[in-house]
Amino acid sequence: MSFIKTLTALALVTLPGLGEIQELRKVMPREAIEAGLEARDRALFIKEGWIRDPYITLGPDDFYYLTGTTPNPGEEREKTDPLNIGLGNDSIVGGTVQVWKSKDLIDWESLGTPFTMKDSWHQDPGDLVWAPEIHWMPDRQCWALVHCPEAKANFALTSGAGLSGPWTHPMKNRLGRKHDPSLFLDDGRWWMLWSNTMLAPLSADLSRFTAKPVRIDPAGTRPGADGKPISRIGHEGATMIKVGDRYVHLGTAWSTDRMRKGSYNLYYCTSRNITGPYGPRKFAGRFLGHGTPFQTRDGKWWCTAFFNANAPPLERKDIESRDLSRTAQTINPRGTTIVPLEVGSDGEVFIRALDPAYATPGPDENQKFQP
pLDDT in tens, 59-80: 999 999 999 999 999 999 999 9
Band of residue 346 on the pLDDT scale cut at 50, 70, 90 = confident
Residues in the chain: 371
Averaged confidence pLDDT in the chain: 93
pLDDT of residue 13: 37
C-alpha distance from residue 37 to each of 46, 55, 339, 370 (Å):
11, 18, 10, 29
Band of residue 3 on the pLDDT scale cut at 50, 70, 90 = very low
* Domain positions in the chain: 3-359
User: Is a pLDDT exceeding 60 seen at residue 32?
Assistant: yes
pLDDT digits (tens, 9 = 90+) for 154-197: 999 999 999 999 999 999 999 999 999 999 999 999 999 999 99
CA within 13 Å, CB half, 244: 12
pLDDT of residue 18: 47
| Number of C-beta neighbours around residue 220 at 10 A | 13
Strands (E) located in 115-254: 115-116, 130-137, 142-148, 154-158, 167-168, 182-186, 189-194, 198-201, 214-215, 222-223, 229-230, 236-243, 246-254
pLDDT of residue 278: 98
pLDDT of residue 273: 98
Report field, pTM of the whole predicted structure over 0.85: yes
Band of residue 22 on the pLDDT scale cut at 50, 70, 90 = low
3-359 CATH fold = Tachylectin-2; Chain A (2.115.10)
User: Is a pLDDT exceeding 80 seen at residue 371?
Assistant: no
